[in-house]
């Protein structure tokens, strides 16, 4: 979705293969091999999660690219071999192997890469800075966007925010979850994962919560910082208040919670955003 001079807003879910979505999100007897084709025509993006656990084949990335509309974008979860290690500064081979695995076959449909860290990983300024330096700005001539999903409270640290900003790396905004929320804008885009869908809500969230997240997405896209979110460096992460707002692309994924409701929540947000 594009909103005038604002950045693009893409709303999606994690993955597309989930049995409880059949007959609820996917029509009854819809061919399983065409589920991505169906989902990608109702959502703006999907986060590929299988890449976190195992290497995918180049042919798979090419197939996913060809099954989706021209304006569709995937986010890709980076492999845990890079992020679940003792020293992040030694992740160079894992990062290079991942980027050479075939993910670039997504071509123009490759969106941000989410580097997710374990909940036990605490902030080590020097080690994390070295890791951010390993993330390339481009690969084979294609610009790359990187996001880091940190899940330990020690990352609520101004030094971490400044380091992410220096590398144009987004800090994943955790919504409605037990993970620490760091909503400081640090990159040319915003990456959000909301995790509070409920079984007792047909659209996953009450209408007021959907309205709130839609308003947040619009604020981020316009270059503003939404109110009511946890910011580590108020007024500092996005620059002085006197500077003109810079539009940002927004990638918002409905993840976890009551997973069966996530497609409904994503589509309800899309409806609110027009």
- Reduced to 3 states, what is the DSSP secondary structure of residue 60? helix
pLDDT at 236 over 90: no
Beta bridge mates, 249:
189
pLDDT digits (tens, 9 = 90+) for 81-135: 999 999 999 999 999 999 999 999 999 999 999 999 999 999 999 999 999 999 9
What value does the mean pLDDT take over residues 50-58? 95
Q: How far apart are CA 190 and CA 200, in angstroms?
A: 29
pLDDT of residue 235: 72
The pLDDT of 31-59, averaged and rounded, is: 97
The whole-angstrom separation of Cα 134 and Cα 148 is: 13
Q: In this predicted structure, which of 11-20, 31-40, 125-134, 241-250 has the lowest mean pLDDT?
A: 241-250
| Those residues with Cβ within 8 angstroms of residue 79's Cβ, 6 or more apart along the chain or in another chain | 51, 52, 53, 55, 94, 98
CA distance 71 to 35: 18
Position 26 scores a pLDDT of 98
pLDDT in tens, 140-176: 999 999 999 999 999 999 999 999 999 999 999 999 9
HSE at residue 255, side-chain half, CA atoms within 13 A, is 21
Residue 147's CB: how many other CB atoms inside 10 A?
27
């Amino acid at each position: 979705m594009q909103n005038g001079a604002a950045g693009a807003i893409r709303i999606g879910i994690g993955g597309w293969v989930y049995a409880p979505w059949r007959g609820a999100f996917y029509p009854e007897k819809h061919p399983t091999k065409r589920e991505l084709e169906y989902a990608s025509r109702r959502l703006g993006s999907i986060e590929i999660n299988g890449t976190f656990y195992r290497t995918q084949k180049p042919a798979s990335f090419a197939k996913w690219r060809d099954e989706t509309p021209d304006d569709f974008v995937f986010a890709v979860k980076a492999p845990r071999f890079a992020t679940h290690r003792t020293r992040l500064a030694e992740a160079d081979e894992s990062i290079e192997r991942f980027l050479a695995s075939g993910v670039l076959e997504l071509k123009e449909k490759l969106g941000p890469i989410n580097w997710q860290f374990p909940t036990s990983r605490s902030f080590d300024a020097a080690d994390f800075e070295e890791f951010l330096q390993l993330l390339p700005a481009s690969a084979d001539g294609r610009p790359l966007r990187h996001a880091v999903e940190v899940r330990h409270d020690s990352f609520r640290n101004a030094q971490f925010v400044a380091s992410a900003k220096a590398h144009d790396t987004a800090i994943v905004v955790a919504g409605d979850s037990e993970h620490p929320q760091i909503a400081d804008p640090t990159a040319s885009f915003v990456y959000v994962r909301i995790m509070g869908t409920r079984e007792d809500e047909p659209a996953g969230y009450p209408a007021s919560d959907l309205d709130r997240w839609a308003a947040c997405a619009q604020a981020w896209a316009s270059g503003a910082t939404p109110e009511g979110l946890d910011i580590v460096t108020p007024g500092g992460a996005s620059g002085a208040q006197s500077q003109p707002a810079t539009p940002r692309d927004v990638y918002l994924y409905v993840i976890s919670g009551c997973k069966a409701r996530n497609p409904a929540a994503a589509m309800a947000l899309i409806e609110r955003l027009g």
